[in-house]
Structure 1
Amino acid sequence: MGAWLSIIAPAWLAGSILALLSAPLGCLVLWRRMAFFADALAHGTLLGVALAAWWQLPMGIGVALVSVVVVLSLVLMDDERLPADAVLAVVAVTLLCLGLLTLTQLTDQQANVLGFLFGNLLELDWADLPMLAGSVVVGIGLLAYIWPAQIKLATHEALARIQGIHPMRQRLYFMGILAGFCAVALQAVGSLLISGLLVLPALTARLLTHTPRQMIITALIVAQIGVTLGVWGSIWLDIQTGLSIVLILALLFFATLIVSKTWQLLRSAGR
């Protein structure tokens, strides 16, 4: 048991720390209707990692560079003739293809492709936790700083403008925090599943709550349950930790949705 705990404990703790940022950030992603952007940025982390490995730079620099390129590209591609969700889907699949191509053809990271795609928390040890915790604390601090303005923009953008809030500036702030989260979460769930870690707890919480505060707290609880069961499940099933975590979160969402729908039908039938 001691040997198992030496592997599982740092992985579980790392996932739990990450959930402290993913839960409120995921709620804000839903409120700002930026799930597609989060998905595109998550796929971009793979290209960032690949470029960093190719140029022998720190991973964070590669991810930051790609994030800036993604934001600038979306600004340049803004066209009323093109649906925003379709543009983001094209950007996401392009980034994923470029990332895989660079990673497999131009670097020596071919053996780590599955880990980059689906994550592997079990590779983390105790020495990795301080930097992860520090990154999450910084992310939470920055999120708290922009939170009031973000909530006002999500609630009523026109009124927020009148109050002196600059939407594009706040959008860039939010994108920056989201990019940082994607870089930190890469090892946990991989580039393909980062959006699942963000969105699924928030969606589940939305079915169970009525206020923003309740939604954030519930999303945090759901994320912690998903991480805990996902880490243990990845060992029992011998699969990637990211797959296990996101599958657990998906099961929680669909179970909650079914129970919620059933309860609504029973209440309607009882009236």
Structure 2
Amino acid sequence: MTAWLAIIAPAWIAGSILALLSAPLGCLVLWRRMAFFADALAHGTLLGVALAAWWQLPMGIGIALVSIAVVLGLVFMDDERLPADAVLAVVAVSLLCLGLLALTQLTDQQANVLGFLFGNLLELDWADLPLLAGSVLVGLGLLAYIWPAQVKIATHEALARIQGINPTRQRLFFMGVLAGFCAIALQAVGSLLISGLLVLPALTARLWSKSPKQMVVISLLIAQLGVTLGVWGSIWLDIQTGLSIVLILAILFFIAFIFSKIIATKFWSARH
């Protein structure tokens, strides 16, 4: 048991630290209806990794450059003739294809493709935790700074404008925090599953929440449970940690959804 803990403990702690940021950020993603944008940014991390390896730069710089390019590209492609969700879907799949192509053809990272796609928390050791914790703390600080304005915009954008809040500036701030999260979550759950880690806990919490604060708290608890069960499940099932974590979160969502439906049906029957 001690030997297993020596391997699992760093991954477990790293996932728990990451969940501290993913839970509130995921709630904002839902409130601001930006799940597709989060997916596009997440897929863009793969291209960022490939470019960083090709140019021999730190991975974070490559991901940051691609994230900036994605934001600028989406601003350029803003056209009333095109549905926003369709544009984001096209951008996401294009970035995924470009990332895979660049990673396998331009770099020597072919052996690590599965890790970049689905994550591998078990490769983390104790020396990696301080940097991860510091990054999450910075992300939480930035999120706390923009939180009041973000909630006001999500609730009533016109009223937020009257109160002097600049939606465009706040959108860019939010995109920056989201891009940073995608960069630090890449090793945890991989490019394909980052949006699942963001959205699933918040979506599950929404079924049982009566206020924004309650939704954030429940989302945090679900994220922590998903990480714990997912890390141990990846050992038991011998699968990628990111795949296991997101699969557990999906199962928790469907269980919560079914129970909420049953309770709602019983309540409706009792009323009528």
Task: Name the TM-score, length of structure 1 as normaliser.
Answer: 1.00
Q: Distance in 2 between matches of 1:263 and 1:200?
A: 21
Deviation track 1:237-266 (CA, whole Å, cap 9, x = no partner) reads: 000000000000000000000000011111
Deviation track 1:38-97 (CA, whole Å, cap 9, x = no partner) reads: 000000000000100111100000000000000000000000000000000000000000
Within 5 Å, which residues of 2 pair with 1:203-222?
203-222=203-222
Within 5 Å, which residues of 2 pair with 1:21-100?
21-100=21-100
Q: Distance in 2 between matches of 1:56 and 1:225?
A: 37
Q: Distance in 1 between matches of 2:254 and 2:26?
A: 17
Amino acid of the structure 1 residue aligned with 2:222: V
Amino acid of the structure 1 residue aligned with 2:197: L
Q: Distance in 1 between matches of 2:30 and 2:269?
A: 31
Q: Which residue of 1 aligns with 2:229?
A: 229
Q: Distance in 1 between matches of 2:148 and 2:267?
A: 36
Q: Which residue of 2 aligns with 1:11?
A: 11
Q: Distance in 1 between matches of 2:214 and 2:78?
A: 35
Instruction: In structure 2, list runs of 5 or more residues that go unmatched.
Output: none
1:122 matched to 2:125? The reply is no
Q: Distance in 2 between matches of 1:210 and 1:7?
A: 39
Per-residue deviation at 1:268? 1.1
Q: Distance in 2 between matches of 1:119 and 1:87?
A: 26
Q: Distance in 2 between matches of 1:2 and 1:246?
A: 26
Q: Distance in 1 between matches of 2:209 and 2:108?
A: 47
1:164 matched to 2:164? The reply is yes
Q: Distance in 1 between matches of 2:168 and 2:96?
A: 26
Aligned length: 271
**Secondary structure of 2:79's partner?**
coil
Q: Which residue of 1 aligns with 2:145?
A: 145
Per-residue deviation at 1:219? 0.2
Instruction: In structure 1, list runs of 5 or more residues that go unmatched.
Output: none
Q: Distance in 2 between matches of 1:209 and 1:162?
A: 29
Percent of residue pairs identical? 83
Q: Distance in 2 between matches of 1:268 and 1:177?
A: 41
Q: Which residue of 2 aligns with 1:175?
A: 175
How big is the alpha-carbon RMSD for the aligned residues of Structure 1 and Structure 2?
0.4
Within 5 Å, which residues of 2 pair with 1:105-116?
105-116=105-116
Q: Which residue of 2 aligns with 1:264?
A: 264
